[in-house]
Amino acid sequence: MAPIQWSDGAPIYRQLKERVIAMMLDGLLKPGDALPSVRQVAAEYQLNPITVSRAYQELADEALVEKRRGLGMYVTEEAAKKLLINERDRFLREEWPLVMERIARLGLKLQDLLADGDSKGGVQ
């Protein structure tokens, strides 16, 4: 795992969970990949093992990882699909209305923005 800057705004277990989710979305953790052990993460980031276990348990509760007795935690086959659906829903629900509001405030036309993105190869 890459270095993490912990913030005071959210519990550390939640920040760790979000970091693992980001790694899944970015393709750094793929279905079938093993997560680092609780002890390894706790030692690397100087965390209480209970904190790491709580983050991992929440990931398991959401069926993003599965426990394999004696082997550790592994990314589930459906994790990436679930996360992508959740991220798209969140974007459309929370971020897209703000983007549309900003576009309207600036007097921009969505069609012009899409055409501009197409000409630059930025929109698929």
- How far is it, in rounded angstroms, from Cα 7 to Cα 61? 24
Span 26-32, mean pLDDT?
Answer: 95
CB atoms within 10 A of CB 93: 9
- Residue 8 has a pLDDT of 85
The topology under which CATH files domain 12-77 is Arc Repressor Mutant, subunit A (1.10.10)
Q: Which pLDDT band, with edges at 50, 70 and 90, does 49 fall under?
A: very high
How far, in Å, are 4, 29, 77 from residue 91 at the CA level? 24, 22, 23
- How far is it, in rounded angstroms, from Cα 32 to Cα 24? 11
Quickly tell me which residue has 């519990």 as its tokens: 11
CB atoms within 10 A of CB 16: 23
What would the pLDDT profile of 109-121 be if each residue is shown by its tens digit? 888 888 887 666 6
CB atoms within 10 A of CB 94: 9
What would the pLDDT profile of 63-96 be if each residue is shown by its tens digit? 999 999 999 999 999 998 999 999 899 999 999 9
Q: Which pLDDT band, with edges at 50, 70 and 90, does 2 fall under?
A: low
* Amino acid, res. 21: I
